[in-house]
Amino acid sequence: MLDQAALSLETTRSLNRLLPNIEDRFAGRMAPGEWDAFAERLHRHFPDLFRLLLGLYGGRYDFFYHLEQTVALAAQSWIDRPADLKELDEARDADPLWFQSETMLGGVCYVDLFAGDLTGLFDKIPYFRELGLTYLHLMPLFDAPEGENDGGYAVSDYRQVEPSLGTMADLQRLARALRDEGISLVLDFVFNHTSDEHRWAQKAQAGDPDYADYYFLFPDRQTPDAYDQTLREIFPETRRGCFTYRAEIDRWVWTTFNSFQWDLNYANPAVFRDMAGEMLFLANAGAEALRLDALAFTWKQMGTNSENLPQAHQLVQAFNALLRIAAPAMLFKSEAIVHPDEVAKYIGRGECQLSYNPLLMALLWNSLATREVRLLRHSMGYRFRIPDDCAWVNYVRCHDDIGWTFDDGDAAALGINGYDHRRFLNEFYTGRFAGSFARGLPFQENPRTGDARISGSLASLAGLERALLAGNEAEIELAVRRICLLHAVILSIGGIPLIYLGDEFGVINDYGYRDDPAKADDSRWVHRPRIDWEEAEKRHQRDTLQGRIYSRLQHLIAVRKGTAAFAGGRMEVVDVGNDHVFGYVRSAPAGEGAQRVLALANFTETVQAIDANEVRLYGLGYRFTDLVAEKEITLGEGEVALEPYQVMWLLARDER
């Protein structure tokens, strides 16, 4: 490790050595003024890039060669960047916290399941507008192996759209059309692994030693066995351990996820450089944010679990520094579905400005099952806070399973045994627990550890499927309220709310995947149904189930978008003296437009009372407007009552 002074000297020397060459090769090919802008950003961010790459690859004889190639890549990518994206770069530079606005609303879907293909998706733009989306994550749409491909997370070519979905030109056109509607396109950057059909993997299989070094290939079980001692099995139902034997090449391959997803070897700087090239390509295709898939797993080290290692962070930071130079508008979204302490470490301006909030998600489901908010209140009370220039992406369901990623210490502080409690939650959400309203499926049960996760659609986990089967109207209404309750929290707690599209009109589980051999072994497909647009059309009729859910959500969305206090991420959890009601305060900055909202959410199917004094204390007043019910409330001596699963957003009317 170099000390500060030596590092800074090395940085300057390297830049001085690099720059003339880069200028020679690229400046003449840039429009007037463009080189200056590029060089300015290079000067600004080179120190970070250099320090990070030096830390990762400094020991290699060819370090400088790779560094220069990486910077050349950035220059070429800036030349290739379309004019409209350069305009976006400027707009974002002028308004860097644009993603914290209360008008933000995210949606996520599979192109094929939602709309057939990219052309079909075009036709859905009016729907996105109707819903109010400003952010759209399209699940992986790149060329992938036929049959099993983990829903597209096994990428064979990052520059090719899966042919049945359309072309790269379609994608670029779509990105533009969405941007014209104020919708930012979010794409996946699946950079921990490629499919075994990617051309690098194919060359490795053909015996090319350069490409063999892009992956982890072992001639026998010796090294894999040594690694496996300390690795977590992510897909234990697929195979034991994290390695897959490939008979054609007589090699064991590192495969953290499915056997056809080959982990990339980032200890090789060529892998960093080439993946940086793919990343910049996606940036120039029109994505405004990249979802960093499985970013916790990218760096491996013997004797560790090879998750969340410091180098995994440095890699992301290095990619980020490169973006600041070549595609400055781009944001990173962290997909770290790991322990909350580790989730937090990926969040920061120099790393990921956005992050999924798996803890909030899991604890919301926990509260629905237990009818208690203690763990939610306790954990969110001190874990929600992230840097002011970042944002959570809050969600209740997604294409993946639900893992119970809460902290055992948080649970123990409340007298809850984490291990037992996870077992209870799995029993509850698979519907095995007596009286459970949920109908979910176990995912990746591990008989050795007793671990399991949960699959199932929002509506099915919230009780709708069971209630419909029983034809029980009272239960149906409760399920509808649960669906709205969870959404109400993510719409108001701070950050970007993200809807798993289809949930807004209550799609239930689809068991059809069991008949498809490419899907039958992966229960996550139960909550990845093809959208039935005839059913979806019913959202406009309030007396239909779809309409009941959709219209209530639409109302909540409209209120969110009109409430300044819901911007940004500052949130204060409050204990309102009732363990069944989750309370928190959101406030817009003091001064003009100052606003304060006390949010209350009843997680039970019974009426819950809050002492009026608590409301007065945290709401700062006597007179409120409940923005959800659009009702004025004046506090008397008694109590405020919340109906089953009711949510109140209390806006103080006497600001003092």
Among 128, 142, 189, 257, binds ligand GLC (CB under 6 A): 257
Q: How many residues bind ligand GLC (CB under 6 A)?
A: 15
CA–CA separation, 305 and 310 (whole Å): 12
190 or 380: CB nearest ligand GLC: 190
Under 8 Å between Cβ of 292 and 279? no
Under 8 Å between Cβ of 594 and 526? no
Given the residues 102, 293, 451, 465, the one annotated as active site: 293
- Told to judge if 95 belongs to the known catalytic residues of this protein, a careful annotator would answer no
Residue 113 in the binding site for ligand GLC (CB under 6 A) = no
Q: Closest approach of Cβ 87 to ligand GLC, in Å?
A: 32
Residue 112 in the binding site for ligand GLC (CB under 6 A) = no
Q: Select from 309, 380, 313 the least CA-distant residue to 340.
A: 380
Binding segment (CB under 6 A) for ligand GLC, from list 223-231, 268-276, 334-342, 556-564: 334-342
343 or 364: CB nearest ligand GLC: 343
E strands within 402-560? 441-446, 451-455, 496-500
Binding segment (CB under 6 A) for ligand GLC, from list 195-203, 311-319, 360-368, 396-404: 396-404
Q: Which helix (H) or strand (E) holds 461?
A: helix 458-461
Amino acid identity, position 465: E
Which tokens belong to 152?
């597209």
Residue 293 in the binding site for ligand GLC (CB under 6 A) = yes
Given the residues 89, 150, 288, 335, the one annotated as active site: 335
Residue 403 in the binding site for ligand GLC (CB under 6 A) = yes
CA–CA separation, 527 and 40 (whole Å): 47
Q: Closest approach of Cβ 188 to ligand GLC, in Å?
A: 8
50 or 254: CB nearest ligand GLC: 254
Residue 503 in the binding site for ligand GLC (CB under 6 A) = no
- Told to judge if 146 belongs to the known catalytic residues of this protein, a careful annotator would answer no
End-to-end CA distance of the chain: 55
Count Cβ neighbours within 10 Å for each residue of 625-647 and write b for 16 or more, e otherwise.
bbbbeeeebebeeebbebebbbb
Residue 260 in the binding site for ligand GLC (CB under 6 A) = no
Residue 401 in the binding site for ligand GLC (CB under 6 A) = yes
26 or 404: CB nearest ligand GLC: 404
Residues 206-235 close enough to bind ligand GLC by CB under 6 A: 234
What DSSP letter does each residue of 85-140 carry, written as one string?
Answer: HHHHHHHHHHSTTGGG-TT--EEEE-HHHHHSSHHHHHTTHHHHHHHT-SEEEEPP
Axis crossing angle, helix 63-80 with helix 269-284, rounded to the nearest 10: 10
Q: Select from 647, 651, 650 the least CA-distant residue to 488.
A: 647
237 or 611: CB nearest ligand GLC: 237
Among 26, 128, 153, 550, binds ligand GLC (CB under 6 A): 153
Residues 570-609 close enough to bind ligand GLC by CB under 6 A: none
Residue with tokens 């817009």: 588
DSSP label at residue 406? -
Q: Closest approach of Cβ 168 to ligand GLC, in Å?
A: 21
Residues in contact with ligand GLC, shown as a per-residue x/- string from 121 to 150 under the rule CB under 6 A: -----------------------------x
Residues with a known catalytic role: 293, 335
- Can you give the binding site for ligand GLC, defined by CB under 6 A? 150-151, 153, 190, 234, 257, 293-294, 335, 337-338, 399-401, 403
